[in-house]
Chains A and B, each alone.
Chain A
């Protein structure tokens, strides 16, 4: 019996197992799953049913979380019989799947959406390694997040090698704070994986070491992260710089963009990213959140500064109506469908089809600024619609 959020549970005859069971969804009805369990137990097929929890408040119907309601055939899930948890590892229909490598991190970012925990979670790597050979070979892209994936060192790298061999046509994107790559031998080990399409996304938050270190709550992190980027680029590895936009990063944003253009011009992509109100960002939102109108100009100028200097730049996670007309050309539909929000007014917007919406989590804070754009088709054409870029 697996307890799920939303006051429901997944009931089934789970086999005796290790800490977790990984299985593939073979069939899906409204309230029933048939799961092929292949890892963590003797291989067998289990039929499981969604039911209301005993302690659930009386609701007229089963309310699954949006992530679970999207669950379908070909998806992979992980079941923790002891704790009664269930996690979705891979959704076949999703454009981008991100695997959580570990919850351990050596940064402690003010706005972390996945707050780090000091846990022994190497089981996560076992689960990923079990799934990789079963993933569809025509998969467009796969992502890895943390925590800090590089803290798992060789064990994580061996999964990247597995992907290189099993799914050579699949682009791989890894989110890392980059600090580990300040050690030349680790950067070299990364390059030695020789994956045909591997990119690492590394957040840097300021051209000022103390501001970056404050945002990530780790003294000395700025120097390590910058050196990490330099080491990777010296080995011709693909690197993306990510800047999350909030009160502590917006002040010097244009100057920071210039800093990147001057010092890190070899990076392959720069992403300016709207804040997701998850994890620590929820608790810190009064400190971090900025009125979109306040940062419209800074974002425009930062994006232009980068683009004019010849860098590839994208804006993630912000609806087109809070961006200036000049900035919209850099906007990407980056928010996963199940986290995305539009408003009633959006139906009147001429750019609705090109807009990536806002995070559901920032719905209330964003709402006052949502206003339909009524524009000629001409300027709508300048908006990049669905570039095969990395998603949040």
Chain B
């Protein structure tokens, strides 16, 4: 086959000097070096390769050269398409800036019949209409929402316990569907509920309108009931009965559960995960307490530090990976969210991990009293008396006034990770998010000092844990890759 030319002729050998494309790096505990580029592509290199690469001495014959070239860390004369591809990926990574209000939260009541000491929204037990959203406020909120350019959004009903004001939920669902129909927009619904008040009527309504349920399940009965007290000490029984009823009526995907880690949870991660499995739930979000509401007042938030939580998380993650290894599909959602950002070029849609911050743009909250907040955490903060992230009121303010309020724009602009101190040179920047409400709550400043940030400690800990797992164990790496969400 003399007329076919050999491989060598297609690589410009004499031109193998390469240019660097922008990248950041981080030394892992193992001594190896994690490198990431401007769109979040990453590799782990051994120290020697890293030094050869950075001293412009890596030769094209090495496997690392091909990997660094394919992932756009270096540019040589053989191909210039890297720049085009980086452009496309950057645009894709920032595409969420073009869409607004993916999630609209309606706090239909602040009343609740549970009395959880870690409640982050400072629920009211008062059986008083002052803590219910009025239909007039709900209609004004919908009007504002449909006036936005959003084509597609999810309405989430929050509380308190939203089923205490189920009449308003029905009203909002029907009205939103009508408005979606006339405007050609699409809307979906989820109710966040402890399921204690789940009736067949509620289920029938959910089935008719494709409404999903999201609930809390903290673990086995005694742990759950301790975390989530209510009269009768039967919160776990009601939650698990509710989960089963939703599964039977709406299908396996009709209900998702969330857990909150308390001090009593710390040495029970395996029991907690097993509790989910026994309820036929195949996903868990291992979630720490946040510094809002009663969780601060009762000092539950301070009952453990981030390192203790990370130990809990690591043990849980490894247990879940072992379940997958044995053929059982089970996903941890915190990891899944981060992996989506590490392994694809998509930005992800979890508000706490968006950059620029998604508060007030990707998410908006209509509180029971008609006030508008930039995120769920922002209204939790307001219940503690701090209305920094209040954007307006549905009765008084226009859409433009709400989304262009200084308090929102300053917080979002000030916390862009590319320019935030310590974040700007962090190799994990692309997998993280700006969380201005958290840093405002804990440090009195939306940017915060990341050396003292529990958010940063936790995120860094999880990034390192995931990378370490993928590095050390190819099978774990395959399992983790399969968790990426669409």
Residues of A within 8 A of B484 (CB): 308-310
Query: Please, which residue of chain B has its CB at the minimum distance from the CB of A224?
Result: B81
Residues of A within 8 A of B32 (CB): none
- B451 interfacial by beta-carbon distance below 8 Å: no
CB interface residues, B 53-81, toward A, < 8 Å: 66-67, 69-71, 78-81
Interface flags, A225-262, vs B, CB<8A=1, else 0: 01100100000000000000000100010010001011
Check A226 against B81 for contact (C-beta < 8 Å).
Answer: yes
Partner among A208, A210, A223, A265 whose Cβ is within 8 Å of the Cβ of B345: A265
Check B344 against A207 for contact (C-beta < 8 Å).
Answer: no
Check B66 against A252 for contact (C-beta < 8 Å).
Answer: yes
Distance (whole angstroms) from the CB of B440 to the closest CB of chain A:
35
Check A210 against B89 for contact (C-beta < 8 Å).
Answer: no
Residues of A within 8 A of B346 (CB): 265, 310
Check B80 against A262 for contact (C-beta < 8 Å).
Answer: no
Considering the chains assembled together, what is the distance between the CA atoms of A214 and B481 in angstroms? 31
Known: A214-B10, A219-B10, A284-B1. A208 touches B481 (CB 8 A): no
- A211 interfacial by beta-carbon distance below 8 Å: yes
Residues of B within 8 A of A304 (CB): 478, 481-482
- Among B10, B71, B478, find the residue whose CB has the most chain A CB atoms closer than 10 A: B10
Known: A304-B478, A308-B484. A222 touches B345 (CB 8 A): no
Interface flags, B1-44, vs A, CB<8A=1, else 0: 10011110111000000000000000000000000000001000
Distance (whole angstroms) from the CB of A243 to the closest CB of chain B:
15
Considering the chains assembled together, what is the distance between the CA atoms of A6 and B316 in angstroms? 68
- B323 interfacial by beta-carbon distance below 8 Å: no
Interface flags, B68-109, vs A, CB<8A=1, else 0: 011100000011110011001100100000000000000000
Partner among A213, A259, A261 whose Cβ is within 8 Å of the Cβ of B344: A261
Considering the chains assembled together, what is the distance between the CA atoms of A210 and B65 in angstroms? 13
- B136 interfacial by beta-carbon distance below 8 Å: no
Known: A208-B69, A222-B79, A265-B92. A310 touches B41 (CB 8 A): no
Distance (whole angstroms) from the CB of B348 to the closest CB of chain A:
12
- A25 interfacial by beta-carbon distance below 8 Å: no
Considering the chains assembled together, what is the distance between the CA atoms of A310 and B89 in angstroms? 16
Interface range on chain B (Cβ under 8 Å from partner): 20 to 34
Partner among A213, A223, A248, A263 whose Cβ is within 8 Å of the Cβ of B89: A263
Considering the chains assembled together, what is the distance between the CA atoms of A248 and B88 in angstroms? 28
Query: Please, which residue of chain A has its CB at the minimum distance from the CB of B5?
Result: A217
Considering the chains assembled together, what is the distance between the CA atoms of A310 and B343 in angstroms? 11
Residues of A within 8 A of B345 (CB): 262-263, 265
Q: How many residues of A contact B (CB 8 A)?
A: 32
Query: Please, which residue of chain A has its CB at the minimum distance from the CB of B13?
Result: A210
Considering the chains assembled together, what is the distance between the CA atoms of A226 and B72 in angstroms? 14
Residues of B within 8 A of A301 (CB): 478
- B48 interfacial by beta-carbon distance below 8 Å: no
Check A255 against B482 for contact (C-beta < 8 Å).
Answer: no
Partner among B67, B84, B344, B481 whose Cβ is within 8 Å of the Cβ of A227: B84
Residues of B within 8 A of A219 (CB): 9-10
Distance (whole angstroms) from the CB of A71 to the closest CB of chain B:
35
Check B81 against A223 for contact (C-beta < 8 Å).
Answer: yes
Considering the chains assembled together, what is the distance between the CA atoms of A100 and B482 in angstroms? 40
Check B70 against A207 for contact (C-beta < 8 Å).
Answer: yes
* Dominant secondary structure of chain A at its interface with chain B: helix
Query: Please, which residue of chain B has its CB at the minimum distance from the CB of A226?
Result: B81
Distance (whole angstroms) from the CB of A267 to the closest CB of chain B:
12
Query: Please, which residue of chain A has its CB at the minimum distance from the CB of B40?
Result: A262
Interface flags, A101-130, vs B, CB<8A=1, else 0: 000000010100000000000000000000
Residues of B within 8 A of A361 (CB): none
- A283 interfacial by beta-carbon distance below 8 Å: yes
- A209 interfacial by beta-carbon distance below 8 Å: yes
Considering the chains assembled together, what is the distance between the CA atoms of A215 and B482 in angstroms? 31
CB interface residues, A 201-221, toward B, < 8 Å: 207-211, 213-214, 217, 219
Partner among A108, A213, A226 whose Cβ is within 8 Å of the Cβ of B85: A226
Interface flags, B334-351, vs A, CB<8A=1, else 0: 000000000111100000
Residues of A within 8 A of B41 (CB): 262
Query: Please, which residue of chain A has its CB at the minimum distance from the CB of B80?
Result: A223
Check B85 against A255 for contact (C-beta < 8 Å).
Answer: no
Check B7 against A211 for contact (C-beta < 8 Å).
Answer: yes
- A177 interfacial by beta-carbon distance below 8 Å: no
24 contacts between A and B (CB under 8 A): A108-B4, A208-B66, A208-B70, A209-B81, A210-B7, A210-B11, A217-B5, A219-B9, A222-B81, A223-B79, A227-B84, A230-B88, A255-B67, A255-B70, A259-B70, A262-B41, A263-B88, A265-B346, A284-B1, A304-B481, A309-B344, A310-B344, A310-B484, A310-B486
Q: A262-B345, A263-B85 are in contact. List 20 more A-B contacts (CB 8 A).
A: A108-B4, A209-B10, A209-B78, A210-B11, A213-B10, A217-B5, A222-B79, A226-B81, A226-B85, A230-B84, A230-B85, A230-B88, A252-B66, A263-B88, A265-B345, A304-B481, A304-B482, A305-B481, A310-B344, A310-B346
A interface, CB within 8 angstroms of B: 108, 110, 207-211, 213-214, 217, 219, 222-223, 226-227, 230, 248, 252, 255, 259, 261-263, 265, 283-284, 301, 304-305, 308-310
- When A and B form their complex, which 8 residue pairs have the shortest distance between CB atoms, in order from nearest? A209-B79, A210-B11, A207-B70, A213-B10, A214-B7, A210-B10, A214-B10, A223-B81
